[in-house]
Amino acid sequence: MPRTIAVIHGPNLNMLGRREPEIYGAMTLAAIDQALHERAAATGLELHCIQSNHEGDLVDFIQTTGWLAHGIIINPGALTHYGLSLRDALAMLKAPIIEVHISNVYRREPFRHTSVVAPVATGQIAGLGWRGYLLALEWLIAEHGSV
């Protein structure tokens, strides 16, 4: 059975490539997921990706697929700051969790400086653009021996 990584994209990330490219870049969510799939496949990992604008859908995914995953990569989007049910669902997991943000949230509006997800995450990558997702995957591979 292949080892799996769950990749969770929160609200508005489906608009990457069109949404404020000066902040989020031109890379689309589909292209990010494709790059992750290619890297994962090269190491024998299986990826399960979800994007939703609805917190409950993400919680449902975590309670099913996330529970079985060997690692989690999550960009909670705006849920970073107030998604307590998302945070609680993540807290139930034993797998390492890497929180990713495309922009440097600490150089933006003050409300973006607080993450309710960070206390249950293993680590956080912010401000390195879409490549932050790949860095999270590389860390999971390196730190956990192909996860």
- Predicted structure pTM score: 0.93
- Verify whether residue 101 is a known catalytic residue: yes
Lowest mean pLDDT among 6-10, 40-44, 47-51, 103-107: 103-107
Contacts of 65 (CB under 8 A, 6+ apart): 4, 6, 48, 50
From the list 87, 96, 28, the residue with the least C-alpha distance to 55 is 87
Contacts 24+ apart (CB under 8 A), 114-118: 114/81, 115/76, 115/80, 115/81, 116/80, 116/81, 116/82, 116/83, 116/84, 116/86, 116/87, 117/74, 117/76, 117/79, 117/80, 117/83, 117/86, 117/87, 117/90
Residue 79, token pair as written in the block: 């849920």
- What pLDDT does 24 receive? 80
- What pLDDT does 103 receive? 86
- What pLDDT does 145 receive? 60
- What pLDDT does 109 receive? 74
Contacts of 38 (CB under 8 A, 6+ apart): none
Catalytic residue among 24, 37, 133, 144: 24
- Verify whether residue 24 is a known catalytic residue: yes
Q: Render pLDDT for 12-36 as a digit per residue (tens, 0 to 9).
A: 999 999 887 787 878 899 999 999 9
Instruction: Classify burial at 75, counting beta carbons within 10 Å of its beta carbon; exposed 0-12, middle 13-18, buried 19 or more.
Output: buried
From the list 59, 44, 46, 33, the residue with the least C-alpha distance to 133 is 33
Q: Render pLDDT for 86-144 as a digit per residue (tens, 0 to 9).
A: 999 999 999 999 999 998 887 777 777 789 999 999 999 999 999 999 999 999 999 86
Catalytic residue among 54, 70, 81, 101: 101
